[in-house]
Chain A
């Protein structure tokens, strides 16, 4: 246990401490030049900057959208697999394949599928008669739509994860409960809402938290598709911090933004862990 702890201390904790420490300095981007202690100035600058607040809102919207879509789609597919029983095993395996694909590849792939003039998605929608012209929907260049479009590859990549977890959870629901409800005359939607979802609650919570944290950290998928554009409409916190650090050359300010982001993520995760680690789940 000690070597692993030392490793994590050296390569996670120590860098993190440096990161937080940097947030109190004004640092010139050129290596070796002077740094000035500025107290909480970077934090003031972060909170008063429009870029930071709107990136926070975008991160939140992006995360909620990804998690909500994945939950609805993932649960639907998990229920479908359960309804089909054992003969769906092969398809369950096939359904899993995007999990192995690099986010960079997924981002580029979807950019290729959604690109305005020769994207296949618009072309197929056009051929199916759903669109009046193949460039009607500007998936990635309409600032009002882009934040949702860049989320598509993320949803495509990891809905399988939610499905797998929920499917495993569904197998553990005692059959008698559902039989009993059925004998009492309950129909499927009612069984779903009053029995299945409440019984799956802990599993759903874990799945959504794991995915929510990953979605809130999404970086490569967005960078690859829009690089934060158009008009900054897909600049989430990860991208903003990355840019503030590398392109705008303000590591101090970037560290302050990152620290706020880090604290928010930790607070959410700790609350989430405490909620899941309720009494009775403590044997692990």
Chain B
């Protein structure tokens, strides 16, 4: 037991504090959910109510049938999936090489990858507009996925390296003694061992693309626009429809929240990795 754990009657006080903190922390999103079930008029009523007086799906119907919303949701999924695949394809071999061969260049590379995380997004995004134009990828999901991969790749390399680090070298050596090639040792023996880590990395890469805004704003206009941009434009485009906005925001956030709550144990490992060991 951790000696910082408190015993005795003080615990009741602590539980109360925790309940209060959770209530404060949970309230914003709860209010969003509750508002999404109000009628569009009640959503902007003065003074606002906490609970809907009539529960209705009106906002969901109106938000999801708005022009371009269905396409944007599909674009978000497609872009995030492509970007996740790209991240893993690039990150897994790189992280494997860095942890297995431990060359100085590997260490420099992983540091350099970390530094790219610190570059202001606009400094990469603005010139990428022209790069994409030259590649003929303007306003395509693939082009946007490439841009999103610049964000998720360094993180993915970093995470995968920490997962590979935990696998003893003997494992792949034994596989090679048994006749596997180096590549087979990685794909057949080491990768299955780190499958949990692979899943975490995939989720982080997916979320990075799913929630990204500035690249989407700069690199897409009509065909490949993703949902965050549509959510941001909701008001200027459709007037003061707060009800519809809350419904769309809920549709966009609830699935990823549920997904991550299911996988929370792995995610916590991913989030704290590096920070604590570093």
- Is A44 in the interface zone, CB < 8 Å from B? no
Number of A-B contacts (CB under 8 A): 264
Interface size on B, residues (CB 8 A): 93
B69 at the interface (CB under 8 A from A): no
A30 within 8 A of B: no
Given known pairs A4-B157, A103-B213, the reply for A85 and B5 (CB within 8 Å) is yes
Question: Cα distance A207–B112 when bound, in Å?
Answer: 19
1/0 contact trace for B108-122 toward A, CB 8 Å? 010111111111111
Q: Does B171 contact A (CB under 8 A)?
A: no
B-side binding surface: helix, strand, loop or mixed? helix
Q: In chain A, residues 37-94, which have Cβ atoms closer than 8 Å to a Cβ of chain B?
A: 77, 79-85, 88, 91-94
At the interface, yes or no: A203 with Cβ under 8 Å from chain B?
A: yes
Chain A nearest CB from B229 CB (Å) reads 8
In the complex, B123 has a CB within 8 A of chain A: yes
**Residue contact A261 to B94, C-beta cutoff 8 Å:** no
Whether A258 pairs with B98 at a CB distance below 8 angstroms is no
Say yes or no: is B174 at the interface (Cβ < 8 Å to chain A). no
Instruction: State how many angstroms separate the Cβ of A44 from the closest Cβ of chain B.
Output: 20
The answer, yes or no, to whether A186 is at the interface (CB within 8 Å) is no
In whole Å, how far is B142's beta carbon from the nearest beta carbon of chain A? 13
Contact A213:B117 (CB < 8 A) given known A102-B228, A105-B249, A108-B232:
yes
Kindly report which residue of chain B lies nearest to residue A283, judged by CB atoms: B277
Is the C-beta of B56 less than 8 angstroms from some C-beta in chain A? no
Residues of B within 8 A of A3 (CB): 89-90, 93-94
Chain A interface size, as a band, is 35 or more
Contact with A along B11-44 (1 / 0, CB 8 A): 1001101100110011011011001000000001
Report whether B267 and A284 are in contact in the complex, using a CB–CB cutoff of 8 Å. no
A112 at the binding interface (Cβ < 8 Å): yes
Question: Bound complex: CA of A182 vs CA of B3, how far in Å?
Answer: 10
Query: Which residues of chain A are near B47, meaning CB under 8 Å?
Result: 118, 123, 134
**Does B147 touch A at the CB level, under 8 Å?**
yes
Does residue B150 face the partner (Cβ distance < 8 Å to A)? yes
Whether B121 contacts A83 by the Cβ 8 Å rule is no
- Contact among A94, A220, A265 for B120, CB-based, below 8 A: A265
Q: Answer yes or no: B67 CB below 8 A from chain A CBs.
A: no
A134 nearest in chain B by CB position: B47
Q: Which residues of A are found within 8 Å of B172, using beta-carbon distances?
A: none
List the A side residues contacting B242 at CB < 8 Å. 112
> Besides the contacts A14-B127, A16-B119, what 4 more A-B pairs have beta carbons closer than 8 Å?
A16-B127, A83-B5, A109-B249, A220-B228
Measuring CB to CB, which residues of chain A are less than 8 angstroms from any residue of chain B?
1, 3-5, 7-8, 11-12, 14-16, 18-19, 22, 77, 79-85, 88, 91-105, 108-110, 112-113, 117-120, 123, 134, 156, 161, 164-165, 167-173, 175, 178-179, 182, 196, 202-203, 206-207, 210, 213, 217, 219-220, 223-224, 237-238, 241-242, 245, 251, 254-255, 258-259, 261-262, 265-266, 269-270, 273, 276, 281, 284
List 5 A-B residue pairs with CB atoms under 8 Å apart, sorted by A's residue number: A7-B90, A93-B268, A120-B48, A273-B111, A281-B278
